[in-house]
A and B are shown apart, each in its own frame.
Chain A
Amino acid sequence: AQSVTQPDIHITVSEGASLELRCNYSYGATPYLFWYVQSPGQGLQLLLKYFSGDTLVQGIKGFEAEFKRSQSSFNLRKPSVHWSDAAEYFCAVGLFGTGGFKTIFGAGTRLFVKA
């Protein structure tokens, strides 16, 4: 069955430090890949998306993600974290299945930023 794994439930980084959030997926073909961010009390907002082309994708708020087919991974990175980046981050896979196209989310990684 298709799945999305985010191995880290939560991560704490210092402000100004670099960040990498991990995401692995299980799917027969290359799916659509997304990273979303959820601030407290809010809906999810798309950070970036990948389907084909350059495997390094730039997103909003200074985030980037790299697709590695050999590792079935799509890790999110940011070179220097700001306190306002503290939020819940969701990796997601978009794929065609029975009933049409759907987006499946990982369990999320909560990012804490310390001063």
Chain B
Amino acid sequence: DTAVSQTPKYLVTQMGNDKSIKCEQNLGHDTMYWYKQDSKKFLKIMFSYNNKELIINETVPNRFSPKSPDKAHLNLHINSLELGDSAVYFCASSPKGFGEKLFFGSGTQLSVL
């Protein structure tokens, strides 16, 4: 069983479209995250949720809206996609949210044309 799974693995879309990425963890962790990795491999935190509650929102455009229906799921919806949104998006989780290692999904490669 995959611990942190995200779908889809690849997403190719046109500018202006709206798309969603889904993430699920079966580890029983309280905290989930979205990270963005750009073409230079730089990894930056976008959001953090603890038990369905938003904790961290790192100056991300409001076109990005995370949603956590329960603590095992954290989805990312992106409106009006722009070329600069092209990146790899990683979902991650951790047991308590501090001091703990992160468990990463395998990433979603988003290409905006």
A residues within 8 Å of B by Cβ?
Answer: 32, 34, 36, 38, 41-46, 49, 51, 88, 90, 94, 96, 99-105, 107-108, 110
Q: Is the CB of B107 within 8 A of A46?
A: no
Q: Is the CB of B41 within 8 A of A88?
A: yes
User: Which of A42, A90, A96 is B43 in contact with, Cβ under 8 Å?
Assistant: A90
CA–CA, A44 to B56, complex, Å?
Answer: 20
Q: Is the CB of A94 within 8 A of B99?
A: yes
Q: Tell me whether A99 and B57 are in contact in the complex, defined as CB-CB below 8 angstroms, given that A104-B45, A108-B41 are known contacts.
A: yes
Q: Tell me whether A102 and B45 are in contact in the complex, defined as CB-CB below 8 angstroms, given that A42-B106, A94-B99 are known contacts.
A: yes
User: Which of A36, A49, A100, A104 is B98 in contact with, Cβ under 8 Å?
Assistant: A100
Closest Cβ of chain B to A61, distance in Å, is: 15
Chain B stretch 76-113: residues in CB contact (< 8 A) with chain A: 90, 92, 97-99, 101-102, 104-107
B residues within 8 Å of A by Cβ?
Answer: 4, 40-45, 48, 50, 55-58, 90, 92, 97-99, 101-102, 104-107
Q: Is the CB of A102 within 8 A of B99?
A: no
B50 nearest CB neighbor, chain A only: A100
Q: Is the CB of B101 within 8 A of A43?
A: no
Closest Cβ of chain A to B107, distance in Å, is: 6
